């Protein structure tokens, strides 16, 4: 599904409505919800809106668990940190418990160590708090089933830290992978969730603005076979719902 909006404010307002609705439904159904946060600049306004009293009061913070789709290999207070952006725009302003914030570690010896630690953390979480969806999977928990994954898309068609031509696109077993430095902006090493994990989600919402990205989306929608060879975002095919929230204006 593609939903078009006049500008990023209208898009962000719609995104917040979806986040709250999905979170409340998950809490009603199983007692908690799991949300994967997007990085970059596009979701910032949505996070700021969600932190405002008018919206924050409707969010089940006590039962909400927040994760990240990817992170740059920088400190958690660095301006380029996805966690730092979310903390400033949202987390510092709402009543979410620290234990419900599942940050990708960037204080490990190296990105490979950090990726391994995050995967261990995710496996532990989903073993401890299995949802009905998880219970239906194999005992090895082949993939988790997040209630909602928020994603952006770069002007090269990347999403999370899955870049064109990366060998990580073929990863089938790992939940989390380290991304070598030299790609992306900034070109630092990164840690990312893998395609099987992202595609295991019940709901995936892309937040996409700007004509360049919308041209890529057009290729994804009209020439999917071609797009999958060019753009990692085209490989996002969740088990559940896929929604593109778009605006030409950035």
At 170 the three-state DSSP class reads helix
Q: What are phi and psi of 112, to 5 degrees?
A: -65, -40
pLDDT value at 233 more than 70: yes
Per-residue pLDDT tens digits for 126-183:
986 655 555 544 344 578 999 999 999 999 999 999 999 999 999 999 999 999 999 9
Give the C-alpha separation, 188 to 241, whole Å.
32
Global confidence as pTM: 0.93
- Mean pLDDT score across all residues of the chain: 93
Cα 109 to Cα 8, 118, 133, 178, distances in angstroms:
38, 13, 34, 12
**What radius of gyration, in Å, describes the C-alpha atoms of the chain?**
17
How far apart CA 7 and CA 180 sit, in angstroms, is: 34
The per-residue pLDDT for 213 is 97
> What pLDDT is recorded for position 245?
98
Query: What's CA 131's distance to the chain center, in Å?
Result: 19
The answer to whether 209 touches 42, Cβ cutoff 8 Å, is: yes
Domains of the chain from N-terminus onward = 2-247 (3.40.50.1360)
Task: Determine the pLDDT at residue 185.
Answer: 87
Q: What is the pLDDT of residues 95-122, one digit of tens each?
A: 999 999 999 999 989 999 999 999 999 9
Q: Give tens-digit pLDDT for 61-91.
A: 999 999 999 999 999 999 999 999 999 999 9
**13-72: pLDDT as tens digits:** 999 999 999 999 999 999 999 999 999 999 999 999 999 999 999 999 999 999 999 999
Please say whether the dihedral angle defined by the alpha carbons of residues 76, 70, 222 and 166, taken in this order, is positive or negative: positive
């Amino acid at each position: 599904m593609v939903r078009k909006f006049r500008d990023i404010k209208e898009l962000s307002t719609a995104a917040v409505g979806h986040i709250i609705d999905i979170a409340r439904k998950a809490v009603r159904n199983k007692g908690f919800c799991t949300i994967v946060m997007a990085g970059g600049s596009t979701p910032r306004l949505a996070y700021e809106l969600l932190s405002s009293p008018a919206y924050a009061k409707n969010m089940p913070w006590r039962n909400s668990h927040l994760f990240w789709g990817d992170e740059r290999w920088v400190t958690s207070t660095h301006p380029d940190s996805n966690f730092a952006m979310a903390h400033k725009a949202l987390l510092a302003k709402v009543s979410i418990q620290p234990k419900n914030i599942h940050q990708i570690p960037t204080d490990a010896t190296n990105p490979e160590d950090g990726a391994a630690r995050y995967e261990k953390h995710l496996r532990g979480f989903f073993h401890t708090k299995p949802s009905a969806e998880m219970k239906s999977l194999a005992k090895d928990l082949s993939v988790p089933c997040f209630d909602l994954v928020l994603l952006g898309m770069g002007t090269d068609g990347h999403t999370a830290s899955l870049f064109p031509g990366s060998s990580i696109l073929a990863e089938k077993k790992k939940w989390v992978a380290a991304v070598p430095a030299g790609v992306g902006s900034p070109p630092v090493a990164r840690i990312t969730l893998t395609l099987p994990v992202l595609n295991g989600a019940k709901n995936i919402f892309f937040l996409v603005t700007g004509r360049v990205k919308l041209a890529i989306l057009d290729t994804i929608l009209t020439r999917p076979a071609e797009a999958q060879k060019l753009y990692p975002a085209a490989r996002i095919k969740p088990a559940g719902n896929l929604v593109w929230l778009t605006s030409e204006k950035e």
